[in-house]
């Protein structure tokens, strides 16, 4: 039986629309739903063959969300959130993809989505004030014209494929976790190399190790992982949560991360060592990302952070039997500086006789040979290679598209020193172009689905306002954009998170400008700012068109 997502009646190609949305992940789907409700003719262009975005592509073994299921879901429809039954504390990728497909069905979204349509360019015409988008689909590509263009292209959707010397000579298959084959991969009896030890690797390594004859993990930097303590969702808990959904959702909106969890406004440095130990143990026992909510200064004061980091290192040393391997697995950097990972049996996997950890922190992977991976002067023979090397985050998917604004200005050129946006929603020189969870918005530092909903609602309300007021064009002023970029940088500088080589600052992609890309001022402050901007008649934006001309 074919996958659900493959049974779609595809929308027909090309044409003129009020709005073209690029991407049919959670952002693109909800954007379509809102725009339809407002009567805007809308077409969604999606590179994949189904909805779901991240959850469509990331099918690697063990792929699972690190936000609890009851919160990693849409809230725009109470019927939807009441009727959908999650089965586990942290939903696995197949379940989230089923949820995405359910949403597409329930709101009849597929009729306005064109699948297998990768957008290659989006060009603004100064004279007509319209955007033209071209896709790779069909024999010679297809063209779309729209008044407004919304990029719902995702923050972690453009795979980072390091070019190791000799890659083309490898005789076995190479898989990237973010582009996993739909039919799955059976590693039974195979020698496998995994390169990378971020979230994707930490989730997939325990499962690959169970199948493989031998697994070699090439680690450049160890990561902190907190146990998930994943379990089936207790129906009673789910019923109670659903009965109190408004309360949980409202509480989540007041949290910097947009996730309702137990956050304490207490300093780690003011607590006694016993109090700290007790708090960390409690949170380790509960599991998940809330580990860092124990004290308010963990992400701001190095000495406070050290206490949490040392606690986790002690747990790693307890779990891993070989002391040398345990030391290699112990991170020495700031905990939470790179995205914290949530694991199921990750560290314990290194106690298996068929798993070898290879440290490539001092000397990089030298080359890929016909038979395997050469590192530290030795060739490790493998049958398959898994690249768990992450993404060209936040800007990668946008800059893969040739986006040109006023006077043919290329977005890639404007952003060659790092992304510049107003509120992570728009960029000066690119009228009527919106980004959902773009750089300069809280996005990846928050619960993505509620952040997506907030952006989509803001954009939908903005387009409705322009129509009502007789404006045809909206574009941020350069002054407003510069001030926002400055603010994004200023708040980033207050946090320890801006101090390490993470994908948040583009450090994982050679040659990428080093700029802290997401807005770290927290979800509530950000939402307040967006609401004020709208209430003040879109302060910081130039509105133009028929009405502006008449005034
Ligand atoms: P990632 O966190 O960027 O990890 C990539 C790994 O590959 C790192 O260990 C990195 O080492 C290594 N690497 C990259 N280039 C390398 C090279 N040339 N040689 C050797 N090692 C190299 O990517 P990810 O694991 O895919 O996760 C990305 C983000 O996606 C996460 O932070 C999270 O936000 C999201 N995600 C979430 C979940 C979840 O919900 N549970 C699961 C997966 C992903 P360095 O650290 O030294 O750069």
CA distance 518 to 374: 36
> In this predicted model, what pLDDT tens digit does every residue of 48-83 receive, in sequence order?
999 999 999 999 999 999 999 999 999 999 999 999
Say if residue 340's pLDDT is above 80.
Answer: yes
| Cβ-based neighbour number of residue 45 at 10 Å | 27
CA distance 169 to 368: 7
> In this predicted model, what pLDDT tens digit does every residue of 404-445 receive, in sequence order?
999 999 999 999 999 999 999 999 999 999 999 999 999 999
Are 225 and 341 spatial neighbours (Cβ–Cβ below 8 Å)? Answer: yes
Q: In which band, very low, low, confident or very high, does the pLDDT at 344 lie, cut at 50, 70 and 90?
A: very high
Q: Average of pLDDT values for 2-12?
A: 48
Long-range contacts of 486-489 (CB under 8 A, 24+ apart): 487/521, 488/440, 488/516, 488/519, 488/520, 488/521, 489/515, 489/516
Say if residue 331's pLDDT is above 50.
Answer: yes
Task: List the beta bridge partners of residue 475.
Answer: 542
Ligand 1 atom 31: the closest Cα is on which residue?
Answer: 199
CA distance 262 to 24: 33
- The pLDDT score that the predictor gives to residue 78 is 97
Q: Rounded to the nearest whole angstrom, what is the distance from the C-alpha of residue 197 to the centroid of ligand 1? A: 6
Are 239 and 70 spatial neighbours (Cβ–Cβ below 8 Å)? Answer: no
Cα–Cα nearest to 405, from 436, 375, 431: 431
Q: What is the mean pLDDT of the chain?
A: 95
Q: Average of pLDDT values for 503-507?
A: 94
| Cβ-based neighbour number of residue 93 at 10 Å | 22
Ligand 1 atom 37: the closest Cα is on which residue?
Answer: 199
Are 60 and 206 spatial neighbours (Cβ–Cβ below 8 Å)? Answer: no
Q: In which band, very low, low, confident or very high, does the pLDDT at 549 lie, cut at 50, 70 and 90?
A: low
Are 292 and 66 spatial neighbours (Cβ–Cβ below 8 Å)? Answer: no
Report the nearest atom of ligand 1 relative to the CA of 361. 47
Q: Rounded to the nearest whole angstrom, what is the distance from the C-alpha of residue 200 to the centroid of ligand 1? A: 6
3-class DSSP string for 457-489? HHHHHHHHHHHHHCCCEEEECHHHHHHHHHHHH
Report the nearest atom of ligand 1 relative to the CA of 364. 19
Report the nearest atom of ligand 1 relative to the CA of 508. 48
Q: Average of pLDDT values for 298-327?
A: 98
Enumerate residues 6+ apart whose C-beta is below 8 A from 25. 51, 52, 53, 54, 55, 56, 100, 152, 154, 157
Mutate to test the pocket of ligand 1, among 164, 230, 390 (most ligand atoms within 8 A of CB): 390
Q: How many residues does the chain have?
A: 551
Report the nearest atom of ligand 1 relative to the CA of 178. 26
Q: Rounded to the nearest whole angstrom, what is the distance from the C-alpha of residue 196 to the centroid of ligand 1? A: 6
Ligand 1 atom 17: the closest Cα is on which residue?
Answer: 162
- The pLDDT score that the predictor gives to residue 231 is 97
- The pLDDT score that the predictor gives to residue 453 is 98
Helix or strand (DSSP H, E) at 449: helix 448-469
Q: What percent of the chain has pLDDT over 90?
A: 94
- The pLDDT score that the predictor gives to residue 392 is 96
> In this predicted model, what pLDDT tens digit does every residue of 281-309 receive, in sequence order?
999 999 999 999 999 999 999 999 999 99
Pairing verdict, β 214-219 and 355-359: parallel
Q: What is the maximum alpha-carbon separation in the chain?
A: 77
- The pLDDT score that the predictor gives to residue 14 is 85
- The pLDDT score that the predictor gives to residue 201 is 98
Report the nearest atom of ligand 1 relative to the CA of 177. 26
Ligand 1 atom 45: the closest Cα is on which residue?
Answer: 221
- The pLDDT score that the predictor gives to residue 10 is 55
How does DSSP classify residue 49?
S
Report the nearest atom of ligand 1 relative to the CA of 339. 32
Q: Rounded to the nearest whole angstrom, what is the distance from the C-alpha of residue 400 to the centroid of ligand 1? A: 20
To 10 degrees, what angle do helices 273-286 and 302-319 make? 60
Say if residue 2's pLDDT is above 80.
Answer: no
Cα–Cα nearest to 262, from 87, 91, 89, 68: 68
Phi, psi of 164 (to 5 degrees): -70, 140
Range in 90-99, 134-143, 160-169, 252-261 with the lowest mean pLDDT = 134-143
Say if residue 18's pLDDT is above 70.
Answer: yes
Q: Rounded to the nearest whole angstrom, what is the distance from the C-alpha of residue 388 to the centroid of ligand 1? A: 6
Q: Rounded to the nearest whole angstrom, what is the distance from the C-alpha of residue 519 to the centroid of ligand 1? A: 20
Report the nearest atom of ligand 1 relative to the CA of 196. 7
- The pLDDT score that the predictor gives to residue 1 is 34
Mutate to test the pocket of ligand 1, among 199, 205, 335, 338 (most ligand atoms within 8 A of CB): 199
Task: List the beta bridge partners of residue 42.
Answer: 19
Cα–Cα nearest to 11, from 51, 58, 52: 51
Q: Rounded to the nearest whole angstrom, what is the distance from the C-alpha of residue 487 to the centroid of ligand 1? A: 27
CA distance 211 to 355: 11
Q: Rounded to the nearest whole angstrom, what is the distance from the C-alpha of residue 449 to the centroid of ligand 1? A: 21
Phi, psi of 285 (to 5 degrees): -65, -35
CA distance 291 to 311: 11
Burial 186-224 (b: 16+ CB within 10 A, else e): ebeebbbbbbbbbbbbbbbbbbbbebbebbbbbbbbbbb
Report the nearest atom of ligand 1 relative to the CA of 64. 41
Q: In which band, very low, low, confident or very high, does the pLDDT at 207 lie, cut at 50, 70 and 90?
A: very high
- The pLDDT score that the predictor gives to residue 240 is 97
How does DSSP classify residue 441?
B
Q: Rounded to the nearest whole angstrom, what is the distance from the C-alpha of residue 386 to the centroid of ligand 1? A: 12
- The pLDDT score that the predictor gives to residue 8 is 45
Ligand 1 first shell, C-beta below 6 A? 64-66, 156, 162, 177, 195-201, 203, 220-221, 339, 342, 360, 364-365, 388-391, 444, 503, 508
Q: Average of pLDDT values for 437-465?
A: 97
The string of DSSP codes covering 366-421 is -EE-SSEEEETTEEEE-SEEEE---B-TTTHHHHHSEEE-GGG-BHHHHTTTS---
How does DSSP classify residue 234?
P
User: In the chain, what are the helix, strand and coil shares in percent, each to the nearest 5?
Assistant: 35, 20, 45
- The pLDDT score that the predictor gives to residue 256 is 94
Mutate to test the pocket of ligand 1, among 58, 179, 197, 200 (most ligand atoms within 8 A of CB): 200
Cα–Cα nearest to 283, from 246, 248, 308, 265: 308
- The pLDDT score that the predictor gives to residue 3 is 42
How far does Cα 73 stand from its chain's mean position?
A: 14
Say if residue 492's pLDDT is above 70.
Answer: yes
CA distance 460 to 468: 12
| Helices within 476-551 (DSSP H only) | 478-494, 523-535, 546-550
Q: Rounded to the nearest whole angstrom, what is the distance from the C-alpha of residue 296 to the centroid of ligand 1? A: 26
- The pLDDT score that the predictor gives to residue 13 is 79
- The pLDDT score that the predictor gives to residue 194 is 98
> In this predicted model, what pLDDT tens digit does every residue of 365-411 receive, in sequence order?
999 999 999 999 999 999 999 999 999 999 999 999 999 999 999 99
- The pLDDT score that the predictor gives to residue 547 is 59
Q: Rounded to the nearest whole angstrom, what is the distance from the C-alpha of residue 198 to the centroid of ligand 1? A: 4
Give the HSE-up count for residue 36: Cα atoms under 13 Å, Cβ half-sphere: 15
CA distance 319 to 228: 15
């Amino acid at each position: 039986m074919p996958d659900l997502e493959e049974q779609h009646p595809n929308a027909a190609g090309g044409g003129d629309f009020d709005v073209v949305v690029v991407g049919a992940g959670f952002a693109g789907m909800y954007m379509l739903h809102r725009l339809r409700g407002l009567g805007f003719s809308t077409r969604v262009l999606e590179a994949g063959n189904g909805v779901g975005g991240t959850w469509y592509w990331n099918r690697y073994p063990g792929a699972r969300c690190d936000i609890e299921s009851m919160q990693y879901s849409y809230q725009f429809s109470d019927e939807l959130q009441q009727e959908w039954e999650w089965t586990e504390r942290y939903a696995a990728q197949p379940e989230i993809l089923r949820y995405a497909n359910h949403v597409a069905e329930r709101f009849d979204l597929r009729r306005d989505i064109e699948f297998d349509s990768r957008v290659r360019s989006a060009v603004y015409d100064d004279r007509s004030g319209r955007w033209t988008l071209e896709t790779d689909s069909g024999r010679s590509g297809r063209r779309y014209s729209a008044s407004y263009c919304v990029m719902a292209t995702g923050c972690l959707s453009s795979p980072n494929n390091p070019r190791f010397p000799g890659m083309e000579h490898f005789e076995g298959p190479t898989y990237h976790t973010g582009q996993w084959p739909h039919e799955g991969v059976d590693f039974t009896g195979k020698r496998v190399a995994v390169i990378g030890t971020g979230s994707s690797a930490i989730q997939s390594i325990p499962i690959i190790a169970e199948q493989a004859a031998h697994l070699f993990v090439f680690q450049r930097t160890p990561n902190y992982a907190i146990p998930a303590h994943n379990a089936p969702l207790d129906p009673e808990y789910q019923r109670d949560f659903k009965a109190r959904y408004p309360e949980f959702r409202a509480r989540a909106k007041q949290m910097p991360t947009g996730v309702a969890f137990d956050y304490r406004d207490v300093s780690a440095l003011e607590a006694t060592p016993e109090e700290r130990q007790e708090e960390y143990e409690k949170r380790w026992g509960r599991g998940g990302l809330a580990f860092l909510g124990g004290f308010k200064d963990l992400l701001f004061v190095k000495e406070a952070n050290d206490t949490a980091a040392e606690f986790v290192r002690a747990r790693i040393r307890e779990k891993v039997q070989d002391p040398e391997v345990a030391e290699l697995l112990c991170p020495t950097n700031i905990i939470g500086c790179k995205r914290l990972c949530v694991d199921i049996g990750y560290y314990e996997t290194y106690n298996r006789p068929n798993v070898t950890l290879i440290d490539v922190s001092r000397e990089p992977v030298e080359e890929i040979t016909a038979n395997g991976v050469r590192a530290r002067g030795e060739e490790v023979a493998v049958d398959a290679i898994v690249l768990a090397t992450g993404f060209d985050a936040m800007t990668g998917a946008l800059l893969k598209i040739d986006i040109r604004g006023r006077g043919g200005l290329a977005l890639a050129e404007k952003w060659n020193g790092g992304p510049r946006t107003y509120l992570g929603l728009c960029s000066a020189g690119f009228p009527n172009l919106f980004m959902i969870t773009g750089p300069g918005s809280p996005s990846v530092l928050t619960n993505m689905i509620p952040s997506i909903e907030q952006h989509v609602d803001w954009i939908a309300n903005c387009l409705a306002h322009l129509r009502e007021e007789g404006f045809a064009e909206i574009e941020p002023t350069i002054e407003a954009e510069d001030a926002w970029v400055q603010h994004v940088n200023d708040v980033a500088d207050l946090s320890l998170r801006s101090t390490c080589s993470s994908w948040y600052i583009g450090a994982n992609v050679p040659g990428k400008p080093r700029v802290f890309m997401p807005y770290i001022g927290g979800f509530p402050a950000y939402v307040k700012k967006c609401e004020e901007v709208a209430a003040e008649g879109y302060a910081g934006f130039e509105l133009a068109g028929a009405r502006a001309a008449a005034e």
